[in-house]
Amino acid sequence: MMRVQYFIDTANLESIKKISDIFPITGVTTNPTIIAKEKRDFKEIINDIFDIIGKDKIVHAQAVGSTAEIIVKEVQLLRDTFGENFYTKIPVTPEGIKAMKILSKDGHKITATGILSPQQIIMAAEAGAEYMAPYINRSDNIGENGIEIVKDAYKILEMTKKTDEEKLARYKRIFEPKILGASFKNVRQVHETILAGSKSVTVAPDVFEKLIYHPYTDWSMDTFNSDWEKVYGEKTLLDLL
Ligand SMILES: O=C[C@H](O)COP(=O)(O)O
């Protein structure tokens, strides 16, 4: 049965603590802008994130080299530094795709990023990326349709699924390619992205907290609490059983 993977899209440690304490998250994603906001040592930021969420969870950060050669070296260094649960985000530029192709042959864990079209998703998946991150809100903002990118790419990914043998031969590891919906400004975008076939989403803290918010839920709980208190006062079930 499919499970949705929720990532937190921030490098702010307070936000990561708050969200990961409450929600069942798979990991944290960052990008160069998100990291630069913290104005701290890069290595410390990533280690601090792992300390909060646990080394069994996933952290993503982006390669910043502009050639495939430098990106490949960055990814090798990142894996040596942060271990198996670190995924490098690589942009879907020609140099980025070239780097993905080289790195996936060595079993590296890659997330393709900067995605604004279905073909970028398919190409990155063929090059061996495990996660492909389309920017839903950035697409909507220029009058296109982020959800349609996910729908089209998901259809093609389903049609071109590879066997475990094919994956091992090409990428040296077995994984399911996943569309990682990113760049959300509201809950509807997140929901429609998942409905369109995205098995994972990365959501900034402000939108993350709203995923389960409903004013009528709060009103219902307030009513239950006040009705209960009229008869049982401050007692909880711990006092009554
Ligand atoms: O790394 C990708 C981010 O999810 C982009 O999000 P943003 O459009 O809210 O900056």
219 CA distance to ligand 1 middle (Å): 33
Looking at residue 2, its pLDDT comes to 72
Looking at residue 220, its pLDDT comes to 98
- Give 55's contacts (C-beta < 8 A, 6+ positions apart): 83, 85
Q: What is the largest CA-CA distance in the chain?
A: 71
Q: Taking a C-beta distance cutoff of 8 angstroms, is the pair 183, 229 a contact?
A: no
At 235 the three-state DSSP class reads: coil
For CA atoms 138, 47, 45, 105, the dihedral sign is negative
d(CA 121, CA 119): 5
Of 7, 58, 62, nearest to 193 by C-alpha is 7
Mutate which of 6, 30, 31 for ligand 1 pocket (most atoms within 8 A of beta carbon): 31
Residue ranges in the chain modelled with pLDDT below 50? none
Instruction: Name the phi and psi angles at 9, rounded to 5.
Output: -95, 80
Nearest-10 crossing angle of helices 146-159, 187-195: 20
pLDDT tens figures, 117-139: 999 999 999 999 999 999 999 99
pTM over 0.90: yes
- Give 134's contacts (C-beta < 8 A, 6+ positions apart): 115, 116, 120, 121, 146, 149, 150, 153, 179, 181, 182, 183
Q: Does residue 39 have an active-site annotation?
A: no
Q: What Cα–Cα distance (Å) separates residue 127 from each residue in 78, 157, 163, 196, 197?
A: 19, 13, 16, 23, 20
ipTM of the predicted structure? 0.96
Looking at residue 1, its pLDDT comes to 64
Q: Taking a C-beta distance cutoff of 8 angstroms, is the pair 201, 6 a contact?
A: yes
- Return the structure tokens found at 241: 């059983």
29 CA distance to ligand 1 middle (Å): 10
Structural domains in the chain?
A: 5-214 (3.20.20.70)
Of 150, 99, 109, 161, nearest to 130 by C-alpha is 109
Looking at residue 228, its pLDDT comes to 98
- CA-31 nearest atom, ligand 1: 1
- Residue owning the nearest CA to atom 4 of ligand 1: 183
182 CA distance to ligand 1 middle (Å): 6
- CA-9 nearest atom, ligand 1: 4
183 CA distance to ligand 1 middle (Å): 4
- Give 213's contacts (C-beta < 8 A, 6+ positions apart): none
Looking at residue 117, its pLDDT comes to 98
